[in-house]
Amino acid sequence: MSLIRANYDAQISPETSAGLPITPNSLEKEPKKLRSRHVTMITLGGIIGASLFVGSGNVIRTVGPAAILCYLIGGLLVFLAMRMLGEMAAARPTTGSFMEYARTGLGNWAAYFVGWLYWYFWVGVLAFEAVVGGSILHGWVSGVPAWLFSVGLILLFTASNLISVRSFGEVEFWLASVKVLAIIVFLGIGILFATGLWSGSTFSIPNLWQHGGFAPHGIWPIISGVALVIFSYFGTEIAVMAAAESENPSKGVRQAASTVIWRILLFFVGAVTIMVIVVPWNQLPDPKEHAPFAYIFGMFGIPAAQTIMTAVILTAVCSVLNSGLYSAARMFSALADDGFAPKIVAKKHRGVPVVAVVASTLGAYAAVFVNFVAPNSGVFDFIMNSAGLVALFVYAFIALTQMRTRQKMTPEEQSHLKLKMWLHPWLAVLTISAVVGIVIVMLLGDESSRTQVWTSLVSVVVLALFWPLARKSVARVDATRTTV
């Protein structure tokens, strides 16, 4: 793969909008790429998960109706990062995504850190979602151990990813469709309920400012709330990675990056707004006892609301398992292509990085095993906490890379960009400043937030210790590129 890429490093691809060197991938020879409908649904439903269906209840109970602002501010940060990623990806589509751009824009060290952290994050997420999915299924069929369901889910989505990129896209299409449909129904009925037009409802919009006001606890909880919700949006970049493997990469990337703002407004901000209007914020039940979406669907009079929403949440869990394994495998394969991981990891069959897919599940199996054998050991919690800041690291690297990449471009190349970041470089600076601000807020927050910061830094330190070895390996790959 490195030799193939080297042949292109000296060329200018007519497919790029800025005339930048393109990093080809053997996936370009894959006969079954993602179709437009796959990319569209991944774009629409990729970021809808249990963090919205369940976690939003914690934010509302902590912040009050001003939780709407938390999701708006967090969404703005994600939108800016996606726009910058979209600028680079539209010019140079690649499944390595921001890791490849970090390599060309900032250097091998940046690619090494952001690539490994991103992979590590998704390995942790795979473990977490497998545990949650196993618990849900165990609740339905108590005779089967939860750990067995967890392993079964990992095996199922390993298979969907191994068959072909098209099979991944098809599975994700239907899983995302369920989530999108659930949100649309929720929003439609919610508007009728809030305005008193639904059977048994009353006009409830005043709930926005009653019961202590719009921001009953003041400004600080709103700022702290942004640190909580920012992780709900992580995964948006999957759409850009998937678009690079579609039948029309450039179009898919532009679509994914350009539509993220209204997806955030509709699905996250819209859903949270309905929740704080329909139910007084201080009367929303504890999500551990009653998921907010299930509770409100029950208020709507939907029969078997709890069962239906539990099934939707399971669908969301499965979707994250499917797309998370896709992201982890593609990033792991890209790391191997650039010499940051063993070459065998980059081995592909019909365009699928088989070794990377399987290897990315090993951490999930280990975490599931530890969680069920020794749930109080703290190992599982450490894995989840130590990957907690990856989202912020990625957004900061995207902003830094975009600034550096634009600096390297000639005025003519900049004029040919099909997707441009506005107000360059000031919005990139704003994004980096926001990331730093969120980290500071987390350090000043509760013990859980501080734990995430410090354990995440531990993972960075571990990577730094291995950088000298990785640098030698990358140097050999770079030498091969320059001699071919």
Q: If you write DSSP's letter for every residue of 440-480 in order, what string do you get? A: HHHHHS-HHHHHHHHHHHHHHHHHHHHHHHHHHHHHHHHHH
Instruction: Give the model confidence (pLDDT) of 167-223 as tens digits.
Output: 999 999 999 999 989 999 999 999 999 999 999 899 999 999 999 999 999 888 888
**Residue 160 falls within a domain, yes or no?**
yes
- Token reading at 87: 């600028």
Q: What predicted TM-score, i.e. pTM, was given to this entire model?
A: 0.86
**Residue 115 falls within a domain, yes or no?**
yes
- In the numeric block, the tokens 């193939």 are attached to 4
Region 304-332 average pLDDT = 91
Q: In 243-394, at which residue ranges do the beta strands (DSSP E only) sit?
A: none
Spatial distance between the Cα atoms of 383 and 378, rounded to a whole number of angstroms: 9
Report pLDDT for 16. Answer: 38
Q: Identify which of 57, 6, 312, 3 has the alpha carbon closest to the alpha carbon of residue 176.
A: 312
**Residue 2 falls within a domain, yes or no?**
no
Per-residue confidence at 158, pLDDT binned at 50, 70, 90? very high
**Residue 477 falls within a domain, yes or no?**
yes
**Residue 29 falls within a domain, yes or no?**
no
Domain that holds residue 381: 35-483
Region 135-140 average pLDDT = 92
**Residue 153 falls within a domain, yes or no?**
yes
Structural element, H or E, at residue 323: helix 305-337
Instruction: Give the model confidence (pLDDT) of 94-106 as tens digits.
Output: 766 789 899 989 9
Checking if the pLDDT of 42 tops 90, the result is: no
Q: Mean pLDDT score of the chain, rounded to an integer?
A: 85
Output the domain CATH number for residue 416. Answer: 1.20.1740.10
**Residue 20 falls within a domain, yes or no?**
no
Report pLDDT for 380. Answer: 67
Q: How many domains does the chain have?
A: 1
**Residue 25 falls within a domain, yes or no?**
no
Instruction: Give the model confidence (pLDDT) of 216-258 as tens digits.
Output: 998 888 888 888 788 888 888 888 888 888 888 877 787 777 7
Report pLDDT for 18. Answer: 39
Percent of the chain with pLDDT over 90: 46
Per-residue confidence at 484, pLDDT binned at 50, 70, 90? low
Cβ–Cβ < 8 Å for 410, 189: no
Region 387-397 average pLDDT = 85
| Phi, psi torsion values for 288, nearest 5 degrees | -65, -25
